[in-house]
Amino acid sequence: MKKVKYFYNTQTLKYEKLVVSLRVKVLRILGFLSAAIVTGAIFLSVAYRLVDSPKEKSLRSELEGMKEKYEALQGRMKEMKGTLADLQDRDNEIYRVIFEASPVPDSSRMGKVKRDEEASQLQSFASAEIVASTGVLLKELTNRIKAQEKSYEEIDKMIKNKQQMLASIPAIQPVANKELKHIASGFGYRIDPIYKTMKYHAGLDFAAPSGTPIYSTGDGVVEEASLSDVGYGNHVVVRHGYGYKTLYGHMLRMKVKSGQAVKRGDVLGWVGSTGKSTGPHCHYEVIKNGEKVDPVYYFVTDLTPEQFDKMLKLARSGNQSFD
């Protein structure tokens, strides 16, 4: 049953029934609704700030997981960077030193200009700090790896070239001489066997029985295999490359021809006494960059330190040459 309200009218001095107009009712309803809306908005705002929604909880958990993975990724990249730095040090300090090559500068490995450009572009992305730092480190590692791969390719070429060079440089004696009994005359000024005056002797004389094999002292190509009645007589010149040539004179007979490729240890001919010679021997010369040098320093694979010392003394004795 609806309650009826009364009020005391002071003018009539009577209690009269309270009648509320429609306008007042509408205003009251609107005021209540406004208050409810404002209160609800305040409540939702506070709840939104203090309480995560299920979606927000999921995103927050995913973000934490991504941070952990990012930190682990950063750790692994730093380890890779350290390992790569060790490889770069070995490259510069060991491998390139062995092959007498210039070290690769660090600025070339990093690609600094490209790295700075990359960083400035990354700063405009979302989560700029994380993206930029990760991107810069990855770019640096990529540049370093590419530079290292290129360096190793160069070293591989140097190894192959070095192997070929080591095989080509004269490094053995032209006749079998393990006991060091065949050195007859050394490099430098010696007594000419015919004119009996001091004359420059540009090689080593190896005295040996006629017909003893004469070997190529390194890989190369026969530049000359010619016969003459004076001078070197039957002689062979081998071009080894890398600025080196060798000459073998006074042969009894030659086995090779001009233009023929030879390997270290191949027989070029046999000991004789043709040309200007006083007895069977092999006159041996080493020519480096057009200059005749002392061959005794090129018997590296044939001699022990003690044997080299002995040969040096024999080659330096001031005796008479054979040619």
Is 188 a residue whose pLDDT tops 60? yes
Question: Is the confidence at residue 135, as pLDDT, over 70?
Answer: no
Are the beta carbons of 247 and 233 closer than 8 angstroms? Answer: no
**Same domain, yes or no: 36 and 79:** no
Q: What is the pLDDT of residue 31?
A: 84
Residues 26 and 102 both lie in one domain: no
pLDDT at 125: 46
Q: In this model, does residue 30 exceed pLDDT 90?
A: no
Sequence-ordered list of residues with C-beta below 8 angstroms from that of 47, at least 6 positions apart, any chain:
none
20 within a domain of the structure (yes/no): yes
Does residue 176 belong to any structural domain of this protein?
Answer: no
Note whether 206 and 244 are same-domain residues. yes
Q: Are 182 and 175 in contact (CB under 8 A)?
A: yes
Residue 100 has what pLDDT?
Answer: 54
Is the residue at 91 inside a domain? yes
Measured in residues, the chain has a length of 323
* Structural domain boundaries, residue 26: 6-50
**Residues 190, 163 within the same domain:** no
Residue 109, Cβ neighbours under 10 Å: how many?
22
Asked whether the whole model's pTM tops 0.75, one would answer: no
Rg (CA), the chain: 49
| Residue 59 lies inside a defined structural domain of this protein | no
What is the average pLDDT across 92-117?
Answer: 56
Q: Are residues 261 and 285 in the same domain?
A: yes
Among 4-18, 95-109, 129-143, 237-251, the minimum mean pLDDT is found in 95-109
Would the pLDDT of 278 be above 60? yes
Instruction: For residues 104-108, give the mean pLDDT.
Output: 60
Give the number of domains in the chain: 3
- Considering 168, 192, 213, which residue would you say is the last residue of a domain? 168
Q: Which of 168, 201, 227 is the last residue of a domain?
A: 168
pLDDT at 213: 95
Given 105, 136, 168, the domain boundary residue is 168
Per-residue pLDDT of 236-268, as tens digits, reads 999 999 899 999 999 999 999 999 999 999 999
| 64 assigned to some structural domain | no
Looking at the fold, whether 162 and 193 belong to one and the same domain comes out as: no
102 SS3 class: coil
**55 assigned to some structural domain:** no
Do 219 and 254 share a domain, yes or no?
A: yes
For 133, residues 6+ apart whose C-beta sits below 8 A from its C-beta are 74
pLDDT the model gives residue 151: 75
Query: Residue 41 domain-assigned?
Result: yes
Is the same domain home to 304 and 190? yes
Task: Using pLDDT thresholds of 50, 70 and 90, give the confidence band for residue 84.
Answer: confident
Task: Confirm whether 127 is domain-assigned.
Answer: yes
**Integer angstrom CA distances of residue 37 from 26, 31, 44, 62:** 16, 10, 10, 35
On whether both 230 and 255 belong to a single domain, the answer is yes
pLDDT (0 to 100) of residue 306: 77
**Whether 137 and 236 share a structural domain:** no
**80 and 39 share a domain?**
no
- CATH number of the domain that 271 lies in? 2.70.70.10
Confidence band of 13 (pLDDT split at 50, 70, 90): confident
User: Do 132 and 253 sit in the same domain of this protein?
Assistant: no
